[in-house]
Amino acid sequence: MLNKSEKLVSLLGGQPVIPVLKIADAKQAVPLARALARGGLPAIEITLRTADALEAIRRVAGEVEEAIVGAGTILDPAQYDAAATAGSRFIVSPGITKELLKASADSDVPFLPGAITPGEIMAGRQAGLTFLKFFPAEQAGGAAFLKALASPIADVKFCPTGGVSAVNARSYLDLPNVICVGGSWVAPDDLVKAGDWGRIEELAREAAGLRKPA
């Protein structure tokens, strides 16, 4: 049986970019998820930064069979539980706390907490998490900082998020300790608001082409 970090890798490791989405109108969620999946990015993170976020997760989980929907910006156990109940298949947090680690231990839904310092990363590792979010990636030192962690903490892998774009994604994906990256550039707010699903599908296809080196 896979442990939770291995389960996360199986969910997210099949694509180089995880779209990080802020959905203001739940009606946009299903066509957006379908466009991203058609472009080759079925795994998506819907952040709990809007009032419609949980409803958006519910709709994608219930109506888009090809999607792997997760919840982001989870700050406390109540949000963890609410997101899991809504149908999230993975949970993402900007940081790591004892309370969230306990919520993760009590849940079947795997947890991807953010960590940027060696101490935070080691705390996640000691809790049994060997796949972490590196956030905010660019502000915390970028690919060079993450590369420096690859040798001393070799068994921990990362999904860098925060300032990652089509321009710099490759610098992260080339690292041995990076599984995938998270980014919002594949579904910018203006295209989502306009319902330009065709252009979003194109951006997703371009991002899906950023495969990690063999």
Domain boundaries, the chain: 4-206
> Cα-flanking dihedrals φ and ψ of residue 126, to 5°?
-65, -25
Q: Token digits for 26? A: 């739940």
* Across 42-66, average pLDDT: 98
Q: Determine contact, residues 52/32, Cβ cutoff 8 Å.
A: no
175-187 pLDDT, tens digit per residue, is: 999 999 999 999 9
- The percent of the chain in helix, strand and coil, each rounded to the nearest 5, is 45, 15, 40
* Across 44-51, average pLDDT: 98
45 catalytic? Reply is: yes
What is the C-alpha to C-alpha distance for residues 90 and 109, in angstroms, rounded to an integer? 5
The pLDDT mean for the chain works out to 96
At residue 212, does pLDDT exceed 80?
Answer: no
Residue 168: Cβ-neighbour burial (10 angstroms; 0-12, 13-18, 19+): middle
Determine the CATH number of domain 4-206.
3.20.20.70
Q: Token digits for 203? A: 């951006």
133 catalytic? Reply is: yes
Residue with tokens 């299903």: 30
Strands (E), the chain: 17-21, 43-47, 68-72, 91-93, 111-113, 131-134, 157-160, 181-183
Q: Determine contact, residues 186/17, Cβ cutoff 8 Å.
A: yes
From 45, 66, 120, 193, the catalytic residue: 45
At residue 2, does pLDDT exceed 90?
Answer: no
97-153 pLDDT, tens digit per residue, is: 999 999 999 999 999 999 999 999 999 999 999 999 999 999 999 999 999 999 999
pLDDT in the model for residue 192: 96
> Cα-flanking dihedrals φ and ψ of residue 176, to 5°?
-70, -20
Percent of the chain at pLDDT above 90? Answer: 96
By DSSP bridging, strand 68-72 and strand 43-47 are: parallel
Largest Cα–Cα separation, the chain: 46
pLDDT in the model for residue 60: 98
The confidence band for 173, taking pLDDT boundaries of 50, 70 and 90, is: very high
From 4, 22, 133, 157, the catalytic residue: 133
